[in-house]
Structure 1
């Protein structure tokens, strides 16, 4: 790859990306533009601006993308009830296509010919960042320093930082206990004290949720309103997508909801152990399935459940901007046309449980299911023929088995 002239760097302001910033400047002699996204990670972003200025950056982009993140990425994914390997709510995975989108857009706006990220060569994020970037601009150059530089240890990183007057926080002078990624949907912790999957994660790893045993002894109820598959209100009050998720995070975290200790199969081939906290997302998933249960036809619901693992895998593997994900999204979104109404959720000791649901679009008919007199709404004798037709092939199979038994 020819040396880039101008690079847009996904920049957190932390030690690693500050080192990458300086490395790009010294290795390629190029101009670096920094992009820092506020996805609800809960950190003050102004220090990132100050550090970028100190390192000689003149074009600095710091953007609040929380509403776009939830509206255009999290909510579409939740319409699918997406769970990777049956458990993971894809909090890190779903943030990467938005970051890549803005990297590519800023590169075009500033005349940059390359983008750069700080993902390592062992993880999934390098794949997600780069697949998204190439899908949006096939001509873009992508620089992944962790795959090409010789700063292969924490000691070498710190030496490079000191040589280039990059400030190093005191607690960074040694091995960090674990690595954390956070956004409005979740926190992800992995590495170091978490690398042995046989050992229970220490409680200090958890940042957004109280221990379920320490959660309030009194349950709390919340009512979530939906329109066309998306949450639009809490307790009758209309709220923006990011505000809804923020509120559900507060409620879920208070009651110890959304903790997950998972060993997952990375796209690059290895297994890894992660500790995830998705309090608001866990409540939202429960509520969405609750409203679907009365508004979505059985055939549509079951087909959605069949498609979901494939959809989740596409998101996890970094194929958000692929035609197959968009095809699945179109089918999923079509299914949500009548998924509107309200769900009441009980929050208690680490669990979010649907305890009530109602909708003007409900397919639930009490007249048909009642154990009392249904006033002719359903003729139970119809079931006899239904059963005989469905039993026919089973009878034929059983008869053959009897004939050939001897």
Structure 2
């Protein structure tokens, strides 16, 4: 009898890696690792997955899809930085789920699986269910403790400490459990401390056409390249470190991230809205931005509500064309000029 086949969304973390032999007891395991701009080679992730027992390990480059289908709509909806959170941890997940579903169809899989824990598990399960008709296996967080320990030892995984979740849009870092504890500065590998930024400020102009960023300092760039350039410039000036409280179930959790491009773009975009949209429309969009953020956090990205907010953004921003001039200095960002076109 042919074994069933499970396609596993695998980010390269230990928690998903040790699930491979667990799932392989009853099914062929095919892993999917999606490149959304993590910045590291994912070939090692592929090799580890095969060593752990996967029959095949796919690594897919989805940076363009992520930038255009998730990052840009969220920015245009006004959801980025709405509550201080760049959403670096959740914005890539709809893209990952879509890629996993596509591979599952190609592989003629019988089920899907993922390595999410807690609220993230429910979020990922909803996204997978929305992109595929295949059943979604119970999260690997349900693995028995002894099975997990055995897999960790066999695979020589020394720790289950969460790794930074990175993408083109930023890096979500491991926050201290204590809401008042200082963040370990060594976690920030992309951005300089504000005190070590250049002594001379930098000016940066971002040109928007129809509500979308097109040029930086007069140079037209594809979106992926534009995000990378803004990351480099802003990070050098200590811009982009985030430490906020966000809703989690009935309580809150601490979100620590570094997202230089997201920080720059959300400030410039708000100025673009102020310059080009009437107050009544801006007020409505603020309410909808809150709903958009809720959709991101719950994993309901693929529903009619999100598509409808995107449609309104397309109409509202049709003529939102302007250049926003920013000043970057020692971790701060200030709007110093604007010109509608």
TM-score, reference length from structure 1: 0.79
Larger radius of gyration, structure 1 or 2?
1
**Cα pair distance change 1:209/1:79, threshold 3 Å:** same
What are the superposed Cα offsets for residues 275-319 of structure 1, whole Å, 9 maximum, x if unpaired?
A: 111111010111112222222222222221222111211122211
Inter-partner Cα distance in structure 2 for 1:323 and 1:109: 27
Q: 1:279 aligned to 2:245?
A: no
What are the superposed Cα offsets for residues 48-94 of structure 1, whole Å, 9 maximum, x if unpaired?
A: 22223333434322111111111111011001221477211211211
Q: Structure 1 regions of 5+ residues with no counterpart?
A: 361-406
| Bigger RCO (CA 8 Å, 6+ sep) | 2
* CA RMSD after TM alignment: 2.0
Aligned residue among 48, 68, 75 for 2:72: 75
TM alignment of 1:6-405, pairs within 5 A: 6-26=5-25, 28=26, 30-83=27-80, 86-120=83-117, 122=118, 124-137=119-132, 139-151=133-145, 157-162=148-153, 165-168=154-157, 172-173=158-159, 176=161, 179-191=163-175, 194-266=176-248, 268-360=249-341
Q: Secondary structure at the match of 1:128?
A: helix
What are the superposed Cα offsets for residues 333-357 of structure 1, whole Å, 9 maximum, x if unpaired?
A: 2111011121111111112222111
Number of aligned positions between the proteins: 340
**Cα pair distance change 1:306/1:4, threshold 3 Å:** farther
Inter-partner Cα distance in structure 2 for 1:93 and 1:260: 15
TM-score, reference length from structure 2: 0.93
Inter-partner Cα distance in structure 1 for 2:150 and 2:28: 23
Inter-partner Cα distance in structure 1 for 2:11 and 2:99: 14
Contact 1:84 1:309 in 2 (8 A): no
Contact 1:83 1:309 in 2 (8 A): no
Contact 2:24 2:53 in 1 (8 A): no
Q: Which sits farther off after the overlay, 57-66 or 319-328?
A: 57-66
Inter-partner Cα distance in structure 2 for 1:229 and 1:85: 17
Contact 1:225 1:231 in 2 (8 A): yes
Q: Secondary structure at the match of 1:94?
A: coil
Q: Secondary structure at the match of 2:164?
A: strand
Pairwise CA distance, 1:234: 1.2
What residue in structure 2 maps to residue 393 of structure 1? none
Contact 1:7 1:31 in 2 (8 A): yes
Contact 1:4 1:114 in 2 (8 A): no
Q: Secondary structure at the match of 1:141?
A: coil
What are the superposed Cα offsets for residues 216-275 of structure 1, whole Å, 9 maximum, x if unpaired?
A: 111111111111111111111111111111111111111111212122211x33422221
Inter-partner Cα distance in structure 2 for 1:106 and 1:74: 22
Pairwise CA distance, 1:100: 0.7
Q: Which sits farther off after the overlay, 337-346 or 48-57?
A: 48-57
Inter-partner Cα distance in structure 1 for 2:14 and 2:174: 18
